[in-house]
Structure 1
Amino acid sequence: MKILRYIFSFFSLLLIAGAIYIGYLFTSMDTQDYIFKEYKPPLTTQIFDRNGKLVANIFEQHRFYAKYDELPPRLIEALVAIEDTSFFEHNGVNIDAIFRAGLKVIKNAGKPVEGASTLTQQFIKNTELTPEKTITRKIREALLAYKIETLLTKEQILERYLNFIFFGHGYYGIKTAAQGYFHKNLNELSLKEISMLVGIPKAPSSYDPTKHLDLSIARANNVLSRMYSLGWISKSDYDSAIKEVPKVYNDTLTQNAAPYVVDEVIKQLDSSIKDLKTGGYKINLNIDLDVQEMAQNALKFGYDEIIKRDKDANLSTLNGAMVVVNHQSGDVLALVGGVDYEKSNYNRATQSMRQPGSSFKPFVYQTAINLGYSPMSEIADISRIFEGGDKIWKPKNDGGKFLGLITLKEALTRSRNLATINLALDMGLDVLYSKLMEFGFKDIPPNLSIVLGSFGISPLEYSKFYTMFGNYGTIKEPQIIKEVQDKNGKVIMHFESSEHKVSEPEQGFLVLDMMKNVVDYGTGRNAKVAGIDIAGKTGTTNKNVDAWFCGITPEIEALIWYGNDNNKPMRYTEGGARTAAPVFREFLTQYIEKFPNTTRKFSIPNGVYRGTYKGKSAYYTTKSPLPRKNINFNESEILF
């Protein structure tokens, strides 16, 4: 019975070979449903920072495409040696190999010991056919192999094969595997590394060098032995390669260095680029990975300090966010949506709508300056009670005291709530509201609570409005993405920061100088860094729910927020001055060390003058259209 079974197996192989030969005679079969000419495997899209550093890979299958002229001759030799020695001689199917396989089946009691598939058949099997193991599928595989060899050159077949095949560890294609396992381009690979790579597809899980280096080395040595036996490498090459043990890297596939940024990039592009994860695009960002790391470290520093102060802090809800923007260009240099992405991928920098509290006051004061007030105009810091139906609102200052008549500059420096409310009433609430809407604010309440920042806004959106101060009256739209290139390097999308002028430069400078006073002498003192001008504003909402610091240097701005995701209060001691301002100092210290040539002093626009207040205090002012009280303006002290 065994002899009959062997004979049956042998003649079955003969029939298969005959069927293949018949198929070869009928290569005019309809193959329009196959992708021989339109080969478009899914490719990895890569995201880079402003300096060309890799931020992340995004993909469905992690694959970088290598054209045939990128493939080293040694690589082709090694592949052909171990998989299909007569590749360049056969027409898609190796009849001799089929007969040899049949004879070995008989010799080994019906057990298949050697595959007869050519590289062409392997490519067909993996790209065009189902994985079923039937004679019908095998015949179709052979027929299509013959057909593809009439449509494509050997070089084209090899190119497609090496770009399609799986190399373990999530790597598809030879170029991806070379960069992933060895951190090398194809032309940099050693003979041993080449041998390891071409040996993997036989059993990717077993020969993955990050999991089974010993098996991978042994398989590579078989490849080298085969090449040597064929006379394709010299004895010295063989001996040298056998001894080599390459360094293997066990990297994550995404290489994601800034996950909160990557999530936002995908969100912004997903609707306009349908094949974002399969099209092999190159996305260039305005993000600077060095600045991103500084921001992440600084945010974690502030978080750890909160925990030190409050042993009862709820670590499952306590979190923060930080955005760094070049206010001159609108480039977003860093965006951190949380303290730890692995614990929470919720992006608080873009998705969380938090009340800005007193950090909103500079916009009220900018409106006043635009209307003709001076930094030395006086407003009343006195108690007010507001009644509405059966409700009574009695706003308070921090500390509960009232200072009487004080200047706008002092009111902002000390973050006086009542003075700011009285300023709003003096301007007219309807006027203030309309001017804020002209700035671009949306969904803000048309009542006095707006003065104290009682509305929700994300840190990224908020950073847009803060650019008006460092940019002297012009708002720049923050841009994370610079451009998108297709797989051929053609720029298909380019992002420019739009701008919106809301005040004259000299008026914008007046508020910036008032905010500088906040850091020099007021609530923002914890943000001070020696040797550089800093303007900014703290913000703390009712019951210490939100803590902000928004800081500005001559080149950049950084907005920092802390709070609980469930909007529960933090400890009563937490606030903008204590919680967020030191984080700005921590960040800026690192920033200056990395960029020592950063601009240190704010420039003073044309049209800004020196004035004296009550005969002694120097300040900046402009020729605004409305008269000022208690001001001695001296045009002879013009600065420019």
Structure 2
Amino acid sequence: MRVLIYFLSFCLLSLAVAFIALYSFVHSTDIDINNYKVKLSTQIYDRNGVLIANVFDENRLYAKFDEIPPKLIEALVAIEDTSFFEHGGINIDAIFRAIIKDIQKGRLAEGASTLTQQLVKNVYLTNEKSLQRKLKEAIISYEIEDNLSKEEILERYLNTIFLGHGYYGIKTAAQGYFHKNLDELNLKEMAILVGLPKAPSTYDPTKRLDLSLSRANAVIKRMYSLGWISKDEYEQNLNYKPVIYDESLSKNQAPYIVDEVIRQLKNAGIEDVKTGGYKIELSIDLNTQQLAQDALKFAWDAIVKRDANIDLNQINGAMVVTNPHTGEVLALVGGIDYEASKFNRATMSNRQLGSSFKPFVYLSALDLGYSPASKIADIARVFETVDAKGEKLIWKPSNITKNFSGLITLKEALSKSRNLATINLMLDCGLNVIHSSISDFGFHSVPKNLSIGLGSFGVSPYEYAELYSIISNYGLKQPIYLISHIYDKDGNEISIADKSPKEIVKAEQAFLMIDMLMDVVNNGSGRGAKLADIELAGKTGTSNKSIDAWFVGFSPEIQVVTWFGNDNNKPMKKYEGGARTAVPAFKYFMQNYIKLHPDTKRTFDIPDGVFKRQIDGKTWYYTNTSLLPKINNSDITLEQIEEEGLMF
């Protein structure tokens, strides 16, 4: 029987060798050896180089051959393919031994694959156990050996293999299991890694550390028996037990941000985000991001405490923190709890702006020649119109206080958020003029009616942050961005967006609005945001029936857009609004931001061309273009101002 087995084995082996030789001679495989492409993880970092997340289909970081320690190569070859540097792709002796065992067991059980054959199986073929596949594997292995160097084969192999726990490639596994780069690994850690390909799940050190260490010791013993390590190295490493890390593959520290980054990249035409191996550097600061999350949760908890019957599945919020002078998004929070709801309210929702929009109406007026001291009528108005069916409609806007102030300055009207004064200002300027100005600012799909002055239309908090930079960035509309730099797998930078600012209004005019918004914080509806030793500006906003609550506030360095509301657009309690609901989140954020950044800029710059006068103990700012203010629709000359002391 034994003689028959050896005879059959010899015949099969001879046929196999002959078939391989013939097949190789006619080059009948259609595989492009040089077309080697693996799925690579994209890594996303914050502005300080801290990893935010890995994004992938297969979690793989690529390692060039010169990154791989020689000792790791020796460990791999020792345990997997000792004659790797001598054979031409297959090991005839090993195949012969395997065939004998297969015949003895009556099935294909013995592998005997070289590293080259394992590479072929992983990249070009399947795991099917059949003689036909093994023959094809051998043929392709010969072709690879003819076209690639041994170093190239090893590089491909070590970047292709699955090493358990979702890790593909040696670099990924080293960082995942040990938090080390390849050149920081010791021999025991290398042995663990090269021992994994035999059975990745079985030897996964996060699941069966005992088996993993036993397999690693087998590697070390093999290296010692071959004379590739000294006795001291053998003894020192045999009982060494490394620290193993068991953590999520994505390491996603800011899921709302990561989702938005992927969306923006796909919109920019980068479809292979999860497989292309990009390095993405963001403007986000993770410390600021955590602070924004905490601030939003702080205010949310207060809402819940005020209303025991609130629907916790609906009430939510968003916050966008930017540097309005550079456009950098420092923090972006799309909701209270990502696990509860992945919908990003910061970027994907369009919510009515309420009175937080009023500064743009007043900015339009300033650009027409009004000054903060120009007076407008805070009196009742009734408007008649018709709906789509031709039926008469009556609109009676009112102030939230239900009273009137008569003639008041623009500054006071904005500070106290007077609805009627705002509507009368629009009528004075002309609806068409205001609507055109709003469009020039960059607001889209804005209806042409007076209610827009009260923020009756919607934008997302993310878009709003960019639009508000017209004010906080002294008239320059600064495109905001999450993505600072993108590099492809070869290190080439990819440009996807123009980050250049555009002048919308003059800096002097924008400063007049900044000063008016400082008064909102110091004396008006946003006074709950006031902090000592730093100048702050901002505007509250509450949409009809308290459906939306806003506060857009900014310091000389950063801007914070905060929103709260129900996801189903149902009203919150009538006492909820910009001042009570959104302002506390801003104040919490700013208080703690200043602690983290004690050197933050604390006073607003006053541009050249801005002048000031003291009238009745109050400071009034004005510019050359506001020297002809309008009072009761009458133009007042500079001479009259100087002679009569009417305003400045």
TM-score (norm 1): 0.94
Tell me if the contact between 2:29 and 2:140 (Cα under 8 Å) persists in the aligned partners. Answer: no
CA distance in 1, matches of 2:143, 2:158: 19
Shift of residue 8, structure 1, vs aligned partner = 6.3
Tell me the distance in 2 between the aligned counterparts of 1:213 and 1:415: 66
**What displacement does 1:555 show?**
1.0
CA distance in 2, matches of 1:219, 1:176: 20
Q: Per-residue displacement from partner, 1:446-472 (whole Å, max 9, x unpaired)?
A: 001101000011111111110011111
2:389 aligns with: none
Partner of 1:474: 476
Matched position secondary structure for 2:52: strand
1:608 aligns with 2:610: yes
User: Are residue 167 (structure 1) and residue 167 (structure 2) matched?
Assistant: no
- Which residue of structure 1 lines up, in the alignment, with residue 215 of structure 2? 219
2:377 maps to 380
Instruction: Identify the range of structure 1 (541-550 vs 623-632) with the bigger mean alpha-carbon deviation.
Output: 623-632
Cα shift at 1:496 = 3.5
Which residue does 1:231 correspond to in 2? 227
Structure 2 spans left out of the alignment, 5+ residues = 387-391
**Residue by residue, what CA displacement relative to the aligned partner does 1:60-93 show, whole Å, maximum 9, x if unpaired?**
2111111111111111111111111111122211
**Which of residues 305, 309, 323 is equivalent to 1:312?**
309
Q: What SS does the corresponding residue of 2:196 show, helix, strand or coil?
A: helix
Residue 549 (structure 2) pairs with residue 547 (structure 1): yes
- Structure 1 contact 482–496 (Cα < 8 Å) conserved: no
After superposition, the C-alpha distances for 1:121-147 in whole angstroms (9 at most, x for unaligned) are 111122112322111111111222222
Task: Supply the AA of the counterpart residue of 1:462.
Answer: Y
Alignment correspondent of 2:459: 457
* Closer/same/farther in 2, CA of residues 260 and 16 from structure 1, 3 Å limit: farther
Which deviates more, 264-273 or 307-316?
A: 264-273
Give 3-state SS (helix, strand or coil) of 2:340's partner: coil
1:547–1:575 contact (8 Å) kept in structure 2: yes
Q: 1:11: Cα distance to partner? A: 4.5
Contact kept, 8 Å, 1:302 with 1:579, in 2: the verdict is yes
Separation (CA, whole Å) in 2 of partners of 1:410 and 1:9? 103
2-side partners of 1:43 and 1:633: how far apart?
70
Structure 2 residue 151 is matched with structure 1 residue 149: no
8 Å Cα contact 1:482/1:494 also seen in 2: no
Q: Residue 63 in 1 paired to residue 60 in 2? A: yes
CA contact (8 A) 1:610 1:634 kept: no
Aligned to 1:532: 534
CA contact (8 A) 1:483 1:495 kept: no
SS of residue matched to 1:537: strand
Paired amino acid for 1:205:
S
1:249 to 225, 245, 254: 245
Tell me the alpha carbon deviations over residues 92-134 of structure 1, each in whole angstroms, 9 at most, x when there is no partner.
111212233345557x765777531111111112211232211
Equivalent residue for 2:350, pick from 350, 353, 361: 353
> Is 1:126 the equivalent of 2:122?
yes
1:481/1:465 CA distance change after superposition, 3 Å: same
CA contact (8 A) 1:482 1:495 kept: no
- TM-score of the superposed pair, with normalisation by structure 2: 0.93
Aligned residue type for 2:449: N
Tell me, yes or no, if structure 1 residue 35 matches structure 2 residue 17: no
The C-alpha deviation readout for 1:383-427, integer Å capped at 9, x for no partner, is 222122422111121121212211111111111111111111111
The 1:140/1:14 distance shift into structure 2, 3 A limit, reads farther
Are residue 618 (structure 1) and residue 622 (structure 2) matched?
A: no
Q: Relative to 1, partners in 2 of residues 1:368 and 1:109: Cα closer, same or farther, differing over 3 Å?
A: closer
CA spacing shift, 1:514–1:81, aligned 2, 3 Å: same
Which segment drifts farther, 221-230 or 563-572? 221-230
Q: Does 2:258 align with 1:262?
A: yes
1: distance between equivalents of 2:439 and 2:540? 22
Distance 1:190 1:478 in 2: 45
Q: What's the RMSD between the two structures over aligned residues?
A: 2.1
Q: Please tell me whether the aligned partners of residues 536 and 551 of structure 1 are also in contact (alpha carbons under 8 angstroms).
A: yes
Q: How does 1:45-444 map to 2 (within 5 A)?
A: 45-104=42-101, 115-271=111-267, 272-389=269-386, 390-444=392-446
Find the aligned partners of 2:14 and 2:136 in 1 and give their Cα distance. 13
Runs of 4+ in 1 over 6 A off after TM superposition: none
Task: Check conservation: 2:371, 2:629, Cα contact below 8 A.
Answer: no
Residues of 2 paired with 1:12 and 1:297: CA distance?
Answer: 74
- Look up the SS of the partner of 1:334 in the other structure: strand
Q: 1:19: Cα distance to partner?
A: 3.1
- The CA deviation at 1:212 is 1.5
* Aligned amino acid, residue 360 of structure 2: F
Q: How many angstroms apart in 1 are the aligned matches of 2:125 and 2:53?
A: 33
Bigger mean CA offset, 590-599 vs 95-104: 95-104
Percent identity between matched residues is 57
Question: 1:633 & 1:170 partners in 2: Cα distance?
Answer: 75
**In structure 1, how many angstroms separate the alpha carbons of the residues matched to 2:318 and 2:362?**
26
Distance in 1 separating the partners of 2:606 and 2:4: 96
